[in-house]
Amino acid sequence: MLESVGLTPQAERVYAAMIRLPGAGVAAVADELELPAAEVRDALRLLAERALVVPAGEGGWRAVGPQAALGALLAEQEAELAARRERLEAVRAWAVALEAEHDLSRPRDELVRLLGTAAVRERLTAAADGVRQECLSFTVDREMSPEALAAAKVNNRQAMSRGVRMRNVYQETVRHDPDNLAFARWMAAHGGHSRTVPLVPFRMVIIDRAVAFLAVNPADSREGALEIRSPAVVNALCVLFEQVWESGTPFGEPPKVAEDGLSAQDQALLRLLDAGHTDESAGRKLGLSARTVRRVIAELTDRMDVESRFQAGAEAVRRGWL
């Protein structure tokens, strides 16, 4: 029990015996504990060092009361523990500072958060002034306001006049939105290349495959954007763009329809519903109203000659649509 304060098991037994037998000498304690007298004397010397016994005259010893004696020892141990904790905290603080210094020495890829549409528009304008080769973008249906479209025209006209190649992927429903449709036609007339897909992953602009802009909140572009310059991340976004571009329909051509008569938009809707989206959330993803979603589902249900959505899901799987 008392090894934590520096006592041996024999010293602990001798101390307990002296508490039980006040005034007992070495011989009496040795007899009580069945220990050699020499071991008792060694234990008494250790106890005296710890102030657990004091001389009592004529070579005898008296035990100090446990609460007073052990209280002092415990206070000493606690002080040592506190000092040790301070030393450990100093080592921890040194390690943290060293790690921070090491972290600062690592190569870093820049990422900047742009707050609000005004800040995003300002950075895009600056980027448009500096673009030299190519601009890639995803445009989500009805996300660009008339003001944003007007600003985009100015930036894109300047870039295309310098021979910059512009490629944009729109959501298929842009064909039904007058403002975005007019902008897409304007882009085509000035040398831009556009395609449509049923579902655009998110809004994005990539400049010269060196910097990318992504909406902070894909559901609300007014919250701002991230400006990303990490080569690895930008390269991954370029790969994504090319995959989506290859699957798109060139602007001016009718949307692609599979041999079974299923459009890409129908397929995208089926996949969203199969993933658990409601009519409303699937509609938001595709830029369709909930009423239009329900109408398309009803048409698909009639085509598959089934009566319920559950049956429609099973039939879509059977036909290989899912």
Structure tokens given for 239: 């790969």
Residues of the chain with CATH 3.30.870.10: 112-250
Asked if the model's pLDDT at residue 257 lies above 60, the reply is no
Asked if the model's pLDDT at residue 197 lies above 90, the reply is no
* CATH architecture assignment, domain 264-318: Orthogonal Bundle (1.10)
Residues of the chain with CATH 1.10.10.10: 1-106, 264-318
Asked if the model's pLDDT at residue 59 lies above 60, the reply is yes
134 by DSSP, 3-state: which? Answer: strand
Most confident of 67-76, 155-164, 235-244: 235-244
Position 106 scores a pLDDT of 57
CATH number attached to the domain at 1-106: 1.10.10.10
Asked if the model's pLDDT at residue 142 lies above 60, the reply is no
Q: Torsions phi, psi of 287, nearest 5?
A: 75, 30
Asked if the model's pLDDT at residue 249 lies above 70, the reply is yes
pTM of the model: 0.53
Structure tokens given for 304: 């598959």
Q: Count of CB atoms within 10 A of residue 300's CB?
A: 20
* pLDDT (average), residues 69-73: 68
Q: Torsions phi, psi of 114, nearest 5?
A: -105, 120
The region that residue 243 occupies, defined by phi over 0 for left and psi between -120 and 50 for alpha, beta otherwise, is alpha
Position 4 scores a pLDDT of 64
CATH number attached to the domain at 112-250: 3.30.870.10
Burial 123-140 (b: 16+ CB within 10 A, else e): bbeebbeebeebbbbbbb
Position 87 scores a pLDDT of 85
Q: Share the mean pLDDT of the chain.
A: 78
- Using CA atoms, how far residue 78 sits from 81, 123, 245, in Å, is 5, 60, 70
Asked if the model's pLDDT at residue 12 lies above 90, the reply is no
Q: Work out the burial of residue 97: count CB atoms within 10 Å of its CB; fewer than 13 is exposed, 13-18 middle, 19 or more buried.
A: exposed
Asked if the model's pLDDT at residue 105 lies above 80, the reply is no
